[in-house]
Structure formats: structure tokens, C-alpha cells
């Protein structure tokens, strides 16, 4: 007799090639001129949150929530305050390092590598 397998609540975000180039002088990346500024860019599985951490440091996180990542609504965004990230679908919140702080998620957000070269920010895995 076959038993039903439990639903996968948390799993790794799929590995997809990421190679994004952002011109920091472009109009659409203007929020990144200020520390704490962020933008959303295409790439990864469901997009990437890019945030300026300091004068020369940027972070890039996969927007696909690690809790039930297969759900169509599993999408992380910056909270309006800019102090944390959240998935409005499952109610999980994440600190600015991508670690869960509340909600059902227990896995951290997937983080991509960043490299700064002149006026260009490169995001890759």
C-alpha cells in the first residue's frame, strides 16, 4: 500500500545560472546610490533583490522564498520600512542578511555573489 508523501514545506531554491550586470549610473538603478537603497532586477528563479549595504558593498538575494518555494506566491520583497524583507504569502520575514526572523521559514534566503568594478555591479553564482 502506498502512502501519500508529505508536502515539501521547505527546500533549496533551484540552482539556475545567474550573471547580471547593473550600470550603477543608469536611472533605474538610482536607488543604489544611497546606502540602504534597493532595487529589484530580473534574474535567478523569481528575480533578485539588490541592496546597497555600504559605500562599496552590495547584497543580492533570490526573491523566491525558501518556504514552499514551489508556491506561485512565494515571493520575497523589501518591507516598506527598508529594515527587513518579507514574503506576504506565508508571512515569513528575513533580516537584511537573509536569515529568517519570523513566520514558518527556517531556511535562509539564497544569496548571490556581487562584485563591483567602477560603475558596474556584477551579480553571479
Enclosing domain of residue 69: 21-124
Q: Which H or E element spans position 62?
A: strand 57-62
Asked if residue 4 belongs to a domain, the reply is: no
Count CA within 13 A, CB hemisphere, residue 82.
12
The pLDDT tens digits of the residues spanning 65-114 come to 999 999 999 999 999 999 999 999 999 999 999 999 999 999 999 999 99
Does the predicted TM-score (pTM) go above 0.85? yes
Asked if residue 9 belongs to a domain, the reply is: no
Total domains present in the chain:
1
Among residues 51, 26, 22, the alpha carbon closest in space to that of 123 is found at 22
Residues 110 and 49: their CA atoms lie apart, in Å, by 11
Q: What is the CATH number of the domain that holds 26?
A: 2.102.10.10
- Helices (H), strands (E): how many in the chain? 0, 10
User: Residue-wise over 113-124: b if at least 16 C-beta within 10 A, else e?
Assistant: ebeeeeeebbbe
The pLDDT tens digits of the residues spanning 20-52 come to 999 999 999 999 999 999 999 999 999 999 999
Asked if residue 114 belongs to a domain, the reply is: yes
Amino acid at each position: 500500500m502506498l502512502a501519500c508523501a508529505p508536502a515539501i514545506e521547505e527546500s533549496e531554491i533551484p540552482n539556475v545560472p545567474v550573471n547580471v550586470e547593473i550600470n550603477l549610473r543608469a536611472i533605474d538603478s538610482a536607488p543604489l546610490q544611497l546606502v540602504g537603497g534597493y532595487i529589484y532586477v530580473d534574474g535567478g528563479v523569481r528575480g533578485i533583490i539588490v541592496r546597497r549595504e555600504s559605500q562599496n558593498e552590495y547584497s543580492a538575494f533570490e526573491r523566491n522564498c525558501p518556504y514552499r518555494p514551489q508556491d506561485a506566491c512565494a515571493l520575497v520583497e523589501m518591507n516598506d520600512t527598508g529594515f527587513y524583507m518579507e514574503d506576504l504569502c506565508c508571512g515569513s520575514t528575513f533580516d537584511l542578511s537573509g536569515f529568517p526572523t519570523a513566520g514558518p521559514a527556517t531556511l535562509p534566503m539564497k544569496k548571490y555573489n556581487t562584485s563591483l568594478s567602477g560603475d558596474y555591479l556584477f551579480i553571479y553564482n
